Amino acid sequence: MKSSTKEAAKGLRLFPLRRIVMGLAVGLVAGSVVAAYRWMLERAAAWMAAALQATSGSWLGMAGWFAVLFLLALVVGRLVRWEPMISGSGIPQLEGEMAGKLDQTWWKVLPAKFCGGFLCLLGGLSLGREGPSIQLGAMAGKALSRLTSVGKSEEKYLLTCGASAGLAAAFHAPLAGVLFSLEEIHKNFSVSVLISVMTASVSADCLASLFFGRDPVFQFEIYGDLPMEYFWMVLALGVVLGLFGVFYNWFTLKSQELYQRAKFLNSTTRLFLPFLSAGILAYTVPALLGSGGGLIASVTSGQLTIGAALLLLAGKFLFSAVSFGSGAPGGIFFPLLVLGGLTGGIFGMCCSSLFGLPDAYINNFVLLAMAGYFTAIVRAPLTGIILIFEMTGSLSQLATLTLVAGAAFVTAELLRSEPIYESLLGRMLQRQGQAAPEKGGEKVLREFVVMHRSSVENRTVGQIQWPEHALIVAVRRGSEEILPKGSTRLKASDTLLVMVDAEKEGQADDCIRALCGEDFETSR
């Protein structure tokens, strides 16, 4: 008994160190996978540009490029049929797995998502690299968990670490990777999770920096702090972005619905439309192809008029919906930042013409709008603010970023628009005949004592059918506190620290009291 207690205490002391080691391992593996993916996407953009330059002006050459796009659509369709979990962003799939609703096959998702995302960007579809990077990073974490045979609970920590590492390596945004994985994926800011996630994120970012350098993704000049006399414009921009974000969520879901309603289309043939659209745009408005980073450079360098920016915004918006709605492997993260930046540029130019805003501050509105639009759509304001800090290299807009993100968040909430990834997950589960996971509410901690001759005495935690909305956080045995695993055997007089949903507290209380035998003891 004494030796087992010492072993348990030693395990608890080494637990933080183990989390750091596992976070480092996930960060290095996920960072390597995502860095390779990012490098391939850069090659895809370069090869597409070279192909368009070589075929432009030649009817035979253009016909050849359309033939290539047709083949790309066929190959991507086959990949999606082989592994349906690679369809779309990948973030809803990860959230579904964290909620216990989905189970992704890591050895299929990794190669299929890698190749599918590469081929879609090679064809010029308006998709981002962040969702696939997050999914690839998480699957790298899952691969490590399966190869090292850790428990199911610890596997979810590694999934969170991988997601954080994926975003960090994709955008040179380690802090945003930490916040996004905790705020959106894990939905928990506990210290034990934070340590491992930070380790994974920083190690992945350092690894990616060895190959791509430390330059921010968006590089444009910010004049300085926006004077307070223009703060009302920032508030108005936040409201506009909130409205636009609600419309974006509705339109994105509607585009998916329209594809699904077309019964004559399957997972392969529905990809012909975005690839065909990409071919037409390639020889008419090539600026709309791909993720769209060049559009931000155009608006921040003053190359666009209000009319031209509006046309590009409308075109990018529609092409992004056509691309993502088809189920092609790719994210919405980067394109929505571009849409937000264009919106901010247009808003700034309008304020310059109507209210005398100095032109030097237009770029400030581009930056602010990216954070506000992200917040309205994803409903993760902290991630949005930190992400824009890291992607632009500008740390001078904290007050205005907070204001625009807050206004966009409140506007979207008042209009009762669901966050996009929750909506996408709900649609995915509905198509599979499952119920969407319930939203997490307030949690409460309760203590229960294991009685002699109770039904849980001398049984392991994994052998017991606990209530659905209860989580065993710790087992107190005398002066020792044991972190429970499935193999932890409960003893009489153990005190269980249980976290339950506040709404289900009564049901959980009755069930756990019956399991621990308190009702039996009291009735004697």
- Residue 459 in 3-state DSSP? coil
> How far, in Å, CA of 274 to CA of 385, rounded?
31
Domain ranges of the chain: 19-212, 232-237+250-263+282-431, 443-522
- Residue 176 in 3-state DSSP? helix
* Assigned fold of 232-237+250-263+282-431: Clc chloride channel (1.10.3080)
> How far, in Å, CA of 121 to CA of 106, rounded?
22
pTM, rounded to two decimals = 0.81
Largest CA distance in the chain: 93
Q: Which residues contact 483 (CB under 8 A, 6 or more apart)?
A: 11, 12, 15, 474, 475
Cα dihedral 55, 59, 64, 70 sign: positive
Pair of tokens at residue 210: 């060895």
Report which DSSP code applies to 517.
T
Please state, as a whole number, how many other Cβ atoms lie within 10 Å of the Cβ of residue 453: 9
CATH 2.60.40.10 fits 443-522, yes or no: no
Contact at 8 Å (CB) between 159 and 22?
no
> How far, in Å, CA of 326 to CA of 88, rounded?
8
Q: Right CATH number for 19-212 from 3.90.1200.10, 1.25.40.20, 1.10.10.10, 1.10.3080.10?
A: 1.10.3080.10
> How far, in Å, CA of 498 to CA of 507, rounded?
13
Residue 196 β-bridge partners: none
> Which of 202, 91, 170, 184 lies closest to 138 in space, CA to CA?
91
* Per-residue pLDDT, 455: 85
* Per-residue pLDDT, 441: 52
Q: How many CA atoms lie within 13 A of 20 on its CB side?
A: 5
Q: Which amino acid is at 11?
A: G
Contact at 8 Å (CB) between 162 and 127?
no
* Per-residue pLDDT, 437: 53
pLDDT (tens place) for every residue of the chain, 524 residues total? 444 444 444 444 445 677 788 889 999 999 999 999 999 999 999 999 999 999 988 899 999 999 999 999 999 999 999 999 999 899 999 988 887 788 899 999 999 999 999 999 999 999 998 889 999 999 999 999 888 877 666 788 899 999 999 999 998 889 988 988 887 886 666 666 788 899 999 999 999 999 888 888 777 778 778 889 999 999 999 999 999 999 999 999 999 999 988 888 888 899 999 999 999 999 999 999 998 888 998 999 888 999 999 999 999 999 999 999 999 999 998 999 999 999 999 999 999 999 999 999 999 999 999 999 999 999 888 888 888 878 776 667 788 999 999 999 999 999 999 999 888 888 888 877 666 555 545 566 677 888 888 888 888 888 888 887 777 877 888 767 787 877 888 888 888 878 777 666 667 777 888 888 754 333 33
* Per-residue pLDDT, 497: 79
> How far, in Å, CA of 32 to CA of 204, rounded?
7
> Which of 120, 53, 45, 52 lies closest to 294 in space, CA to CA?
45
Pair of tokens at residue 236: 């108005």
- To which residue do tokens 């996407």 refer? 41
The distance in angstroms from the start CA to the end CA of the chain is 31
Written as one string, the DSSP assignment of 215-238 is --SS-----SPPPGGGHHHHHHHH
The reply to whether 443-522 shares the fold of 232-237+250-263+282-431 is: no
